[in-house]
Amino acid sequence: MIILIPKRKFEVPVQAACINPDVFKGKSIAEISNMPVTEGNRNLKLGDLFEIQQDNLETPYITINGDAGKVKRIGQAMKTGEIVVNGDCGMHTGEKMAGGKITVNGNIGGWSGDDMKGGLIEVHGDAGDYLASPYRGTNTGMKGGLIIVDGKVGSDVGCYLHGGILKIKGGAGRFLGYHMTEGTILVDQQIDMRPGACMTGGKIVITGKVEEVLPSFTIDSVKPKVKIDDTQSVAGPFYVFLGDLAEHGTGKIFVNKANNPQLKTYEKYL
Protein backbone atom coordinates (compact mmCIF):
# COMPACT_ATOMS: atom_id res chain seq x y z
CA MET A 1 0.00 0.00 0.00
CA ILE A 2 1.15 3.53 -0.84
CA ILE A 3 0.43 6.18 1.80
CA LEU A 4 0.34 9.87 0.86
CA ILE A 5 0.50 12.55 3.57
CA PRO A 6 0.22 16.24 2.56
CA LYS A 7 3.33 18.13 3.62
CA ARG A 8 1.32 21.31 4.22
CA LYS A 9 -2.08 22.84 3.74
CA PHE A 10 -2.78 23.50 0.07
CA GLU A 11 -4.03 27.02 -0.62
CA VAL A 12 -4.59 26.72 -4.39
CA PRO A 13 -5.83 23.82 -6.55
CA VAL A 14 -3.53 20.87 -7.12
CA GLN A 15 -3.95 18.83 -10.32
CA ALA A 16 -2.93 15.26 -9.47
CA ALA A 17 -4.50 12.77 -11.88
CA CYS A 18 -1.46 10.56 -11.28
CA ILE A 19 -2.92 9.50 -7.89
CA ASN A 20 -4.36 6.34 -9.39
CA PRO A 21 -3.70 2.65 -8.60
CA ASP A 22 -3.25 1.89 -12.31
CA VAL A 23 -0.56 4.58 -12.56
CA PHE A 24 1.25 3.65 -9.33
CA LYS A 25 1.26 -0.10 -9.99
CA GLY A 26 4.73 -1.60 -10.34
CA LYS A 27 6.54 1.65 -9.60
CA SER A 28 9.03 2.40 -6.85
CA ILE A 29 8.62 5.13 -4.25
CA ALA A 30 11.22 7.18 -6.15
CA GLU A 31 9.29 6.85 -9.40
CA ILE A 32 5.99 7.78 -7.72
CA SER A 33 7.63 10.75 -6.02
CA ASN A 34 8.84 12.01 -9.40
CA MET A 35 5.40 12.03 -11.06
CA PRO A 36 4.34 15.46 -12.41
CA VAL A 37 1.61 17.53 -10.73
CA THR A 38 0.70 21.20 -10.75
CA GLU A 39 -0.09 23.50 -7.84
CA GLY A 40 -1.71 26.63 -9.18
CA ASN A 41 0.58 27.67 -12.06
CA ARG A 42 3.64 25.80 -10.78
CA ASN A 43 4.87 22.51 -12.25
CA LEU A 44 5.98 20.25 -9.42
CA LYS A 45 6.54 16.61 -8.54
CA LEU A 46 4.20 14.55 -6.34
CA GLY A 47 6.97 14.23 -3.76
CA ASP A 48 7.13 18.03 -3.43
CA LEU A 49 3.61 18.03 -2.01
CA PHE A 50 3.24 14.66 -0.28
CA GLU A 51 5.29 12.53 2.04
CA ILE A 52 5.17 9.12 0.37
CA GLN A 53 5.37 5.91 2.39
CA GLN A 54 4.87 2.23 1.67
CA ASP A 55 3.78 -0.71 3.82
CA ASN A 56 3.10 -4.39 3.23
CA LEU A 57 -0.70 -4.22 3.18
CA GLU A 58 -2.21 -5.01 -0.21
CA THR A 59 -5.46 -3.04 0.18
CA PRO A 60 -6.34 -0.28 -0.12
CA TYR A 61 -3.70 0.30 -2.76
CA ILE A 62 -3.51 4.06 -2.05
CA THR A 63 -4.34 5.85 1.20
CA ILE A 64 -4.30 9.63 1.61
CA ASN A 65 -4.08 10.73 5.24
CA GLY A 66 -4.93 14.41 5.57
CA ASP A 67 -6.82 17.23 3.93
CA ALA A 68 -6.85 16.84 0.14
CA GLY A 69 -9.77 19.21 -0.41
CA LYS A 70 -7.76 21.20 -2.98
CA VAL A 71 -6.45 18.10 -4.76
CA LYS A 72 -8.30 17.47 -8.03
CA ARG A 73 -8.71 14.37 -10.22
CA ILE A 74 -7.86 11.74 -7.64
CA GLY A 75 -8.59 8.37 -9.22
CA GLN A 76 -9.27 9.82 -12.65
CA ALA A 77 -9.99 7.02 -15.17
CA MET A 78 -8.99 4.32 -12.66
CA LYS A 79 -9.92 0.77 -13.64
CA THR A 80 -8.77 -1.33 -10.69
CA GLY A 81 -7.66 -1.06 -7.09
CA GLU A 82 -8.85 1.00 -4.16
CA ILE A 83 -8.21 4.51 -2.88
CA VAL A 84 -9.08 5.63 0.66
CA VAL A 85 -9.02 9.33 1.53
CA ASN A 86 -9.04 10.05 5.26
CA GLY A 87 -10.13 13.65 4.88
CA ASP A 88 -11.73 15.81 2.19
CA CYS A 89 -10.84 15.48 -1.48
CA GLY A 90 -11.23 17.88 -4.36
CA MET A 91 -13.15 18.26 -7.61
CA HIS A 92 -13.31 15.65 -10.40
CA THR A 93 -12.55 12.72 -8.09
CA GLY A 94 -13.24 9.47 -9.95
CA GLU A 95 -13.86 11.22 -13.25
CA LYS A 96 -14.06 8.67 -16.11
CA MET A 97 -13.71 5.90 -13.52
CA ALA A 98 -14.28 2.41 -14.98
CA GLY A 99 -13.65 0.15 -11.98
CA GLY A 100 -12.26 -0.15 -8.50
CA LYS A 101 -13.36 1.73 -5.39
CA ILE A 102 -12.82 5.18 -3.90
CA THR A 103 -13.75 5.75 -0.25
CA VAL A 104 -13.78 9.32 1.08
CA ASN A 105 -13.95 9.73 4.85
CA GLY A 106 -14.86 13.38 4.47
CA ASN A 107 -16.40 15.63 1.81
CA ILE A 108 -15.92 15.43 -1.96
CA GLY A 109 -15.73 18.24 -4.50
CA GLY A 110 -17.88 19.09 -7.50
CA TRP A 111 -18.02 17.17 -10.77
CA SER A 112 -16.83 13.98 -9.09
CA GLY A 113 -17.92 10.86 -10.96
CA ASP A 114 -18.32 12.76 -14.24
CA ASP A 115 -18.37 10.31 -17.18
CA MET A 116 -18.05 7.42 -14.70
CA LYS A 117 -18.54 4.01 -16.32
CA GLY A 118 -18.08 1.58 -13.45
CA GLY A 119 -16.76 1.07 -9.95
CA LEU A 120 -17.84 2.52 -6.61
CA ILE A 121 -17.41 5.94 -4.99
CA GLU A 122 -18.46 5.98 -1.33
CA VAL A 123 -18.55 9.33 0.48
CA HIS A 124 -18.92 9.46 4.27
CA GLY A 125 -19.65 13.18 4.19
CA ASP A 126 -21.19 15.69 1.76
CA ALA A 127 -20.74 16.07 -2.00
CA GLY A 128 -20.58 19.31 -3.97
CA ASP A 129 -22.51 20.57 -6.98
CA TYR A 130 -22.55 18.63 -10.28
CA LEU A 131 -21.87 15.21 -8.75
CA ALA A 132 -21.97 12.64 -11.60
CA SER A 133 -22.68 15.50 -14.05
CA PRO A 134 -20.78 16.67 -17.13
CA TYR A 135 -18.99 19.91 -17.79
CA ARG A 136 -21.16 22.76 -19.02
CA GLY A 137 -21.84 22.47 -22.73
CA THR A 138 -21.40 18.68 -22.86
CA ASN A 139 -23.73 15.76 -22.22
CA THR A 140 -21.36 13.02 -21.02
CA GLY A 141 -22.67 12.43 -17.53
CA MET A 142 -22.32 9.26 -15.47
CA LYS A 143 -22.85 6.07 -17.50
CA GLY A 144 -22.39 3.29 -14.94
CA GLY A 145 -21.19 2.35 -11.50
CA LEU A 146 -22.45 3.34 -8.06
CA ILE A 147 -22.03 6.49 -5.97
CA ILE A 148 -23.15 6.50 -2.32
CA VAL A 149 -23.19 9.74 -0.29
CA ASP A 150 -23.93 9.62 3.43
CA GLY A 151 -24.53 13.37 3.65
CA LYS A 152 -26.17 15.94 1.38
CA VAL A 153 -25.34 16.93 -2.18
CA GLY A 154 -25.42 20.26 -3.99
CA SER A 155 -27.30 21.41 -7.08
CA ASP A 156 -27.35 19.95 -10.61
CA VAL A 157 -26.50 16.44 -9.43
CA GLY A 158 -26.97 13.54 -11.86
CA CYS A 159 -27.43 15.81 -14.87
CA TYR A 160 -27.39 13.99 -18.21
CA LEU A 161 -27.23 10.70 -16.31
CA HIS A 162 -26.94 7.87 -18.86
CA GLY A 163 -26.74 5.00 -16.38
CA GLY A 164 -25.49 3.96 -12.98
CA ILE A 165 -26.96 4.53 -9.54
CA LEU A 166 -26.75 7.44 -7.09
CA LYS A 167 -27.76 6.81 -3.46
CA ILE A 168 -27.96 10.03 -1.44
CA LYS A 169 -28.76 9.62 2.24
CA GLY A 170 -29.06 13.36 2.90
CA GLY A 171 -30.87 16.06 0.94
CA ALA A 172 -30.26 17.36 -2.58
CA GLY A 173 -30.24 20.75 -4.28
CA ARG A 174 -32.22 21.94 -7.27
CA PHE A 175 -32.23 20.42 -10.78
CA LEU A 176 -31.49 16.89 -9.61
CA GLY A 177 -31.42 14.56 -12.62
CA TYR A 178 -31.68 17.36 -15.20
CA HIS A 179 -31.83 15.85 -18.72
CA MET A 180 -31.21 12.31 -17.42
CA THR A 181 -31.95 9.49 -19.86
CA GLU A 182 -31.19 6.33 -17.84
CA GLY A 183 -30.06 5.27 -14.39
CA THR A 184 -31.46 5.65 -10.88
CA ILE A 185 -31.21 8.38 -8.24
CA LEU A 186 -32.36 7.77 -4.66
CA VAL A 187 -32.65 10.67 -2.17
CA ASP A 188 -33.61 9.96 1.43
CA GLN A 189 -34.22 13.51 2.68
CA GLN A 190 -35.55 16.85 1.41
CA ILE A 191 -34.99 17.79 -2.19
CA ASP A 192 -35.05 21.27 -3.72
CA MET A 193 -36.92 22.53 -6.78
CA ARG A 194 -37.27 21.05 -10.26
CA PRO A 195 -36.12 17.43 -9.89
CA GLY A 196 -36.15 15.62 -13.22
CA ALA A 197 -36.45 18.71 -15.38
CA CYS A 198 -36.11 17.68 -19.04
CA MET A 199 -35.57 14.03 -18.13
CA THR A 200 -36.47 11.51 -20.83
CA GLY A 201 -35.79 8.24 -18.98
CA GLY A 202 -34.51 6.65 -15.80
CA LYS A 203 -36.01 7.10 -12.35
CA ILE A 204 -35.71 9.40 -9.36
CA VAL A 205 -36.87 8.05 -6.00
CA ILE A 206 -37.60 10.59 -3.27
CA THR A 207 -38.30 9.14 0.17
CA GLY A 208 -38.17 12.54 1.86
CA LYS A 209 -40.01 15.77 1.09
CA VAL A 210 -39.98 17.44 -2.32
CA GLU A 211 -40.50 21.17 -2.87
CA GLU A 212 -42.51 20.63 -6.07
CA VAL A 213 -43.20 18.34 -8.99
CA LEU A 214 -42.99 20.16 -12.30
CA PRO A 215 -46.30 20.66 -14.14
CA SER A 216 -44.80 18.88 -17.16
CA PHE A 217 -45.10 15.60 -15.23
CA THR A 218 -48.35 13.65 -14.98
CA ILE A 219 -49.36 11.34 -12.16
CA ASP A 220 -49.62 7.73 -13.26
CA SER A 221 -50.23 5.54 -10.22
CA VAL A 222 -49.43 4.79 -6.59
CA LYS A 223 -46.96 1.97 -5.96
CA PRO A 224 -46.33 0.17 -2.64
CA LYS A 225 -42.56 -0.02 -3.16
CA VAL A 226 -39.83 0.66 -5.70
CA LYS A 227 -36.71 -1.30 -6.65
CA ILE A 228 -33.44 0.63 -6.55
CA ASP A 229 -31.05 -2.15 -7.57
CA ASP A 230 -30.55 -5.87 -7.03
CA THR A 231 -29.72 -5.27 -3.36
CA GLN A 232 -32.33 -2.69 -2.32
CA SER A 233 -36.04 -1.97 -2.56
CA VAL A 234 -37.71 0.92 -0.72
CA ALA A 235 -41.14 0.66 0.86
CA GLY A 236 -43.72 3.35 0.08
CA PRO A 237 -46.37 3.96 -0.89
CA PHE A 238 -45.09 6.25 -3.65
CA TYR A 239 -46.81 8.58 -6.06
CA VAL A 240 -45.48 7.81 -9.55
CA PHE A 241 -45.09 10.75 -11.94
CA LEU A 242 -44.19 10.36 -15.63
CA GLY A 243 -42.27 12.84 -17.73
CA ASP A 244 -40.80 15.19 -18.59
CA LEU A 245 -43.69 15.45 -21.07
CA ALA A 246 -42.25 18.67 -22.47
CA GLU A 247 -39.41 16.49 -23.77
CA HIS A 248 -41.69 13.55 -24.67
CA GLY A 249 -40.00 11.80 -21.78
CA THR A 250 -40.80 8.44 -20.21
CA GLY A 251 -38.88 8.93 -16.99
CA LYS A 252 -40.38 8.24 -13.58
CA ILE A 253 -40.29 10.19 -10.34
CA PHE A 254 -41.36 8.22 -7.27
CA VAL A 255 -42.38 10.50 -4.35
CA ASN A 256 -43.09 9.16 -0.88
CA LYS A 257 -46.80 9.66 -0.22
CA ALA A 258 -46.66 9.95 3.58
CA ASN A 259 -43.95 12.62 3.55
CA ASN A 260 -45.64 14.74 0.87
CA PRO A 261 -49.30 15.31 1.82
CA GLN A 262 -49.33 18.46 -0.35
CA LEU A 263 -49.47 16.14 -3.39
CA LYS A 264 -52.71 14.48 -2.33
CA THR A 265 -54.65 16.66 -4.78
CA TYR A 266 -53.11 14.67 -7.64
CA GLU A 267 -55.03 11.58 -6.55
CA LYS A 268 -58.21 12.84 -8.21
CA TYR A 269 -56.52 12.31 -11.59
CA LEU A 270 -55.91 8.60 -10.98
How is 110-175 classified by DSSP, letter by letter? TTTTTT--SSEEEESS-B-TTTT-PPTT------SSEEEESS-B-SSTTTT-EEEEEEESS-B-SS
Average pLDDT over residues 32-59: 95
CA–CA dist 256, 226 (Å, integer): 10
DSSP 8-state secondary structure symbol assigned to residue 191: B
Q: What is the mean pLDDT of the chain?
A: 97
Residue 126: CB atoms within 10 A of its CB come to: 19
**pTM recorded for the entire structure:** 0.97
Q: Where are the domains of the chain?
A: 2-216
Spatial separation of the C-alpha atoms in residues 208 and 109, rounded to whole Å: 24
pLDDT digits (tens, 9 = 90+) for 97-146: 999 999 999 999 999 999 999 999 999 999 999 999 999 888 889 999 99
Is the pLDDT reported for residue 150 higher than 90? yes
Q: Are 190 and 205 in contact (CB under 8 A)?
A: no
